[in-house]
Amino acid sequence: MAAEKSDDKNFTSMVIGSIATTFVLLLILPMIFVAGKETYYSAYSVGGDNDIERYAQVTDMRNSLADDDGYFIANTMSTPMLVNDWKDPHRTALMIIGPEKPIAETEADAIYDFVTEKGGKVIVASDGTNANRLADRFGITFFDAPLNDENQHWLEYENGEAVSGSWLNVWGLAAVSEDVNEMSQAHLRQGCVDIEVREENRRNCRMPVMFRSPTGMKFEPTTMDNTNPGHRDVSVLASASPSAFIDIRGNGRADDPQNPAPGDLSLIIRIDYPNITAFDQVTTGSAGIVGSNMKELSVTGSIVFVSDEEAFSNRMWNLDSAEGAKMSSSCEQQTGHCWLDTVRETYWEGNERYFSLLIDDLMEHNNKEMAKSLREDRSNFQIVFDESRHVTGVISAPFVEAMGTVVLLTSNTFLKWLVVLNVGLLLLVSMMVIPEKENWRHVFDLTRFKERPNKLDPSGYRKRVQQALFTKVRVHYDLTRDQMAIKPPAEIQTMIGDPRLVELAYSQSRKYTPQELRQLMVAIRRWGKN
The pTM of this model reads: 0.69
Whole-angstrom distance, CA of residue 268 vs CA of residue 357: 14
pLDDT the model gives residue 398: 54
Tell me the residue ranges of DSSP E strands in 150-232: 153-158, 161-174, 207-210, 217-219
* Residues in contact with 189: Cβ distance below 8 Å, sequence separation at least 6, in sequence order: 342, 343, 344
The predicted-structure confidence for 28-50, as pLDDT tens digits, reads as follows: 555 454 444 567 888 887 766 77
Q: What is the pLDDT of residue 405?
A: 55
Q: With contact defined as beta carbons under 8 Å apart, do 106 and 114 qualify?
A: no
* Nearest CA among 463, 443, 441 for reference residue 452: 441
Question: Rounded to the nearest 5 degrees, what angle is found at the Cα of 341, between the Cα atoms of 335 and 344?
Answer: 135
Q: How far apart are CA 422 and CA 419, in angstroms?
A: 5
pLDDT of residue 400: 54
Cα separations in angstroms, 217 against 45, 88, 113, 135, 234: 29, 31, 22, 10, 13
Query: What is the biggest distance separating any 2 CA atoms in the chain, rounded to whole angstroms?
Result: 128
User: In terms of C-beta density within 10 A (0-12 exposed, 13-18 middle, 19 or more buried), how is residue 238 classed?
Assistant: buried
Nearest CA to 63 among 488, 383, 360?
383
> 3-state DSSP call for residue 448?
coil
Query: Cα–Cα distance between 491 and 150 in angstroms, integer?
Result: 118
Taking only Cα atoms into account, the Rg of the chain, rounded to an integer number of angstroms, comes to: 38
Contact 474, 490 (CB under 8 A): no
Q: What is the DSSP letter of 101?
A: S
Amino acid, res. 64: S
SS (H, E, C) 188-208: HCCECCHHHHHCCCCCCCEEE
Torsion-angle region of residue 98: left (phi > 0), alpha (psi -120 to 50) or beta? left
Nearest to 281 by CA among 360, 215, 370: 370
> Cα torsion for 289, 290, 296, 301, to the nearest 10°?
100
Give the up-direction half-sphere exposure of residue 413: CA atoms within 13 A in the CB hemisphere.
0
CB 146 within 8 A of CB 215: yes
Q: Where are the alpha helices (DSSP H) in 248-391?
A: 314-317, 319-324, 352-362, 372-375
Count how many residues are written for the chain: 530
Tell me the C-alpha distance between 322 and 310, whole Å.
Answer: 12
Give the C-alpha separation, 124 to 60, whole Å: 18
pLDDT beneath 70: ranges in the chain: 1-12, 15, 22-38, 47-48, 78-82, 84, 194-201, 284-293, 335, 390-420, 429-459, 530
Tell me the pLDDT tens digit for each residue of 308-338.
999 999 999 999 989 988 899 998 877 678 8
Measure the CA–CA gap between 82 and 407, rounded to whole angstroms.
8
pLDDT for position 372: 87
Could you tell me what percentage of the chain is helix, strand and coil, using 3-state DSSP and rounding each to the nearest 5? 40, 20, 40
Phi and psi (nearest 5°) for 257? Answer: -65, -20
**Where along the chain do its domains lie?**
1-35, 36-411, 458-526
Measuring CA to CA, how many Å separate 482 from each of 439, 474, 489, 494, 502? 32, 10, 14, 19, 21
CA distances from 11 to 6, 14, 20, 24 (A): 9, 5, 14, 20
Q: Which residues contact 376 (CB under 8 A, 6 or more apart)?
A: 365
Cβ burial, residue 335 (10 Å; 0-12/13-18/19+): exposed
The backbone region for 528, taken as left when phi is positive above 0, alpha when psi lies in -120 to 50, beta otherwise, is left
